[in-house]
């Protein structure tokens, strides 16, 4: 998970996420393990959604930028559907991404970053290492002290020079002979020394300290290692001579003890064979009893579940019966019915009174109309009789 997060951060830097994604939302750059460790779930989830939306858009699929107060389930489902559209597998529940951190969040962002790099045409190249110039180290050496390795090198060089001189000796015989013939005339001058003895002694005393060679021991030298090896070998041999007798004695005692243990073990096995058989039979019976117990416990759990369901149904029936019984024993509905009947009777009486008033009014109007009709008839018949008399 931490390695995936570091790879993701490198891919985001290649995509220039600081300029294109973070600066637009005024966010700080990510740390190396930002999505690997849970620190602030709300902030991490918002950062996860912002980077996922930006990477999906960067990969060529338009994606709406999520807001801070959007539904997290809808946002996660949109991100996962976009990830599946790239051909990536999602084998974890979406709720794992709500924390904004963890292995799943790093996996989703890493896949989206790879798709974005593919879409932009980025390709990994081999690293180009710069040529580093090696600085020459000046090593100050003391001319008065030499190590064994340096002394061996000097001896080897002198031997090689001696071999070269030996090879060139035959070639130079003629030259040396000629030089001896030419210098024979000057030998008389060389035989007499003109150097003062006191000055010679002073010069020898002055040069003598510089001619001393002190060999400094080096712990890495192979000669010291060989000496140490010989010393250790002698110590081991001397110690082995003393301890060999004790080791042989201890070996004999251990072998005798092992033989006794094996014989006792055989004797115990022979004596307790019938007990072992009984134990095996008891073990088999115990395993069968455990299997029966497991089966019986499974049946008990199933019957317990059925009993709980029946109990719930019984409680509901009891509750309904109590409600009906309370409604049957309660006199409030009867009182309401009586009040309604008295009210109906009062209304009936009032309606009867109104009907009687209306009938009386109708009768009076009919009588009045009949009297008016008879009066009009009498008024029309009197003039005709008078006219007939005349």
> Where does 186-272 have alpha helices with state H?
187-191, 197-211, 222-271
Which pLDDT score, from 0 to 100, does residue 257 have? Answer: 94
Q: What is the DSSP letter of 1?
A: -
Which pLDDT score, from 0 to 100, does residue 316 have? Answer: 92
Asked if residue 100 lies in contact with residue 47, where contact means CB atoms within 8 angstroms, the answer is: yes
Place of tokens 């110590």: 235
Both tokens of 277, joined, read 């058989």
List, as one string, the DSSP characters of 65-107. PPPTTS-HHHHHHHHHHHHHHTT----S-GGGGTTS-SHHHHH
Both tokens of 356, joined, read 């009687």
* Separation between Cα atoms, residue 259 and residue 274, nearest integer Å: 25
The closest of 54, 105, 103 to 76, measured between CA atoms, is 105
Is this model's pTM higher than 0.85 or not? no
Instruction: Classify 347 as helix, strand or coil.
Output: helix
Place of tokens 């996962």: 80
All structural domains of the chain with their residue ranges: 1-120, 221-329
Q: Which residues contact 39 (CB under 8 A, 6 or more apart)?
A: 101
Place of tokens 């460790």: 37
Asked if residue 40 lies in contact with residue 34, where contact means CB atoms within 8 angstroms, the answer is: no
* Separation between Cα atoms, residue 373 and residue 369, nearest integer Å: 6
CA 272 distance to own-chain centroid = 56
Which pLDDT score, from 0 to 100, does residue 166 have? Answer: 43
Both tokens of 160, joined, read 């090689």
The closest of 117, 95, 115 to 45, measured between CA atoms, is 95
Which pLDDT score, from 0 to 100, does residue 164 have? Answer: 44
Q: Kindly report the number of other CB atoms within 10 A of residue 76's CB atom.
A: 22
Asked if residue 94 lies in contact with residue 73, where contact means CB atoms within 8 angstroms, the answer is: yes
Asked if residue 214 lies in contact with residue 146, where contact means CB atoms within 8 angstroms, the answer is: yes
Which pLDDT score, from 0 to 100, does residue 258 have? Answer: 94
CB-side neighbour CA atoms (13 Å) of 352 = 5
Q: How many residues does this entry show for the chain? A: 390
pLDDT in tens, the chain (390 residues): 788 888 888 888 877 777 777 777 777 777 788 888 888 878 888 888 888 888 888 888 887 777 777 778 888 888 888 888 888 888 888 788 888 788 888 888 888 888 888 888 777 677 777 766 544 444 444 444 444 455 556 655 554 544 444 444 444 555 565 555 555 554 444 556 677 888 888 888 888 887 766 656 666 667 778 888 889 999 999 888 888 888 889 999 999 999 999 999 988 888 888 888 899 999 999 999 998 888 888 888 888 889 999 999 999 999 988 888 777 776 777 788 889 999 999 999 999 999 999 999 999 999 999 888 888 888 876 555 554 554
Asked if residue 76 lies in contact with residue 98, where contact means CB atoms within 8 angstroms, the answer is: yes
CA distance readout (Å), 380 to 367, 368, 385: 20, 19, 10
Q: Which residues contact 216 (CB under 8 A, 6 or more apart)?
A: 145, 146, 147, 148
The closest of 105, 8, 90 to 48, measured between CA atoms, is 105
CB-side neighbour CA atoms (13 Å) of 130 = 3
Burial class of residue 96, CB neighbours in 10 A (0-12, 13-18, 19+): middle
Which pLDDT score, from 0 to 100, does residue 315 have? Answer: 93
Which pLDDT score, from 0 to 100, does residue 165 have? Answer: 45
Asked if residue 111 lies in contact with residue 88, where contact means CB atoms within 8 angstroms, the answer is: yes
């Amino acid at each position: 998970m931490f390695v995936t997060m570091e790879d993701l951060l490198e891919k985001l830097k290649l995509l220039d996420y600081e300029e294109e994604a973070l600066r637009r939302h005024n966010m700080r750059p990510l740390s190396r393990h930002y999505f690997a460790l849970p620190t602030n779930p709300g902030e991490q989830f918002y950062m996860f959604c912002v980077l996922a939306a930006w990477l999906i858009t960067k990969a060529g699929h338009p994606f709406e930028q999520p807001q801070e107060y959007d539904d997290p389930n809808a946002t996660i489902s949109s991100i996962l559907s976009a990830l599946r559209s790239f051909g990536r597998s999602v084998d974890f529940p979406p709720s794992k991404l709500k924390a904004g951190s963890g292995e799943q969040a790093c996996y989703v962002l890493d896949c989206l970053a790879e798709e974005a790099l593919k879409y932009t045409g980025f390709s990994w190249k081999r690293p180009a290492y710069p040529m580093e110039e090696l600085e020459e180290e000046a090593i100050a050496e003391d001319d008065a002290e030499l190590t064994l390795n340096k002394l061996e090198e000097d001896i080897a060089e002198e031997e090689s020079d001696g071999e070269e001189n030996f090879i060139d000796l035959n070639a130079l015989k003629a030259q040396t002979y000629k030089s001896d013939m030419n210098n024979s005339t000057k030998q008389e001058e060389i035989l007499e020394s003109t150097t003062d003895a006191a000055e010679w002694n002073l010069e020898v005393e002055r040069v003598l300290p510089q001619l001393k060679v002190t060999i400094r021991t080096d712990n890495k030298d192979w000669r010291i290692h060989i000496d140490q090896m010989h010393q250790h070998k002698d110590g081991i041999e001397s110690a082995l001579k003393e301890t060999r007798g004790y080791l042989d004695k201890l070996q004999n005692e251990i072998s005798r003890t092992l033989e006794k243990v094996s014989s006792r073990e055989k004797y115990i096995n022979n004596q307790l064979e019938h007990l072992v058989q009984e134990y095996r039979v008891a073990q088999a019976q115990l395993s069968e009893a455990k299997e029966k117990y497991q089966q019986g416990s499974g049946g008990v759990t199933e019957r317990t579940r059925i009993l709980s369901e029946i109990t719930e149904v019984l409680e509901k029936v009891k509750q309904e019966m109590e409600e009906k019984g309370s409604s049957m024993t309660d006199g409030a509905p009867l009182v309401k019915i009586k009040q309604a009947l008295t009210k109906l009777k009062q209304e009936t009486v009032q309606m009867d009174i109104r009907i009687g008033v209306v009938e009386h009014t109708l009768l009076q109007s009919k009588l009045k109309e009949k009297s008016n009709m008879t009066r009009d008839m009498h008024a029309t018949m009197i003039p005709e009789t008078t006219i007939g008399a005349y």
